[in-house]
Chain A
């Protein structure tokens, strides 16, 4: 009997999770549509007369901004009004040394995996105490 209730509870949680994600998706998109400003982040390519060129999702984006120094080992975050492949910046921040943080994150992922496999064993019955 308990097993049946456990399964019912599991299915109800799945339904609640899916419904919540759908609600979040529409609420977030609604907010994004209302907001005129957006943020994009990517590598700095080169300076131009009106600002600089950055790469976002492998595409070149022209940033209209005052002269700006390129980031060191990282990316540039631009907050502003995006129109096609051009963004008029109202805020810029250099994510200096961000690539180092990405490398450290990968290292941390390995640490978690190491500790996980020291403590647990994955079997067909589930994850059991090692």
Chain B
């Protein structure tokens, strides 16, 4: 998806459904694969050098982002395995959601480094993510309403 709002909603739903205490770790994972690849959007404001940005795109593959997560996790003074697991779950949700999108010749290299094949389920164009964003927002509201009704909003 082009929008982090949908990715963050997916992350929040996962965090609420599984009663994750550190929700921000899943949310960081849900946006982390986009941080470097989306730097090219700076072209909207200023010309950027016309060089290959392929190295940034590497972070949009499960293998590379997992390695990056292994390196980031020690920054947190918390259970290392939990940090890695929660950020990884968020990142995986991001990559699978992106694989749902339609492109002319795009997709997510889910199996890199085993294969350079791009996978795309071609369900809808990235700008049509409202189709999924609105129902996800409704699902999130229902989950939160139920939690408040049961007196357990923190999860």
Contacts and interface: CB of A to CB of B under 8 A. Distances in A.
B54 A29 contact: yes
Interface string A1-38: 00000000010011011001111110111011001010
Nearest to B41: A102
Nearest to B126: A95
Contacts of B4: 104-105, 108-109, 112
Interface residues on A, range: 35 or more
Nearest to B118: A31
A24 B105 contact: no
Interface of B: 2-5, 7-8, 22-24, 27-28, 30-31, 41, 43, 46-48, 50, 52, 54-55, 57-58, 61, 63-64, 67-68, 70-71, 74-78, 103-106, 112-113, 116, 125-127, 129-130, 133
What 7 A-B pairs come out closest when comparing CB atoms? A79-B104, A28-B54, A108-B4, A24-B58, A101-B3, A104-B5, A105-B4
Interface of A: 10, 13-14, 16-17, 20-25, 27-29, 31-32, 35, 37, 39, 42, 56-59, 74, 77, 79, 91, 93-98, 101-102, 104-105, 107-109, 111-112, 115-116, 118-120, 125-129
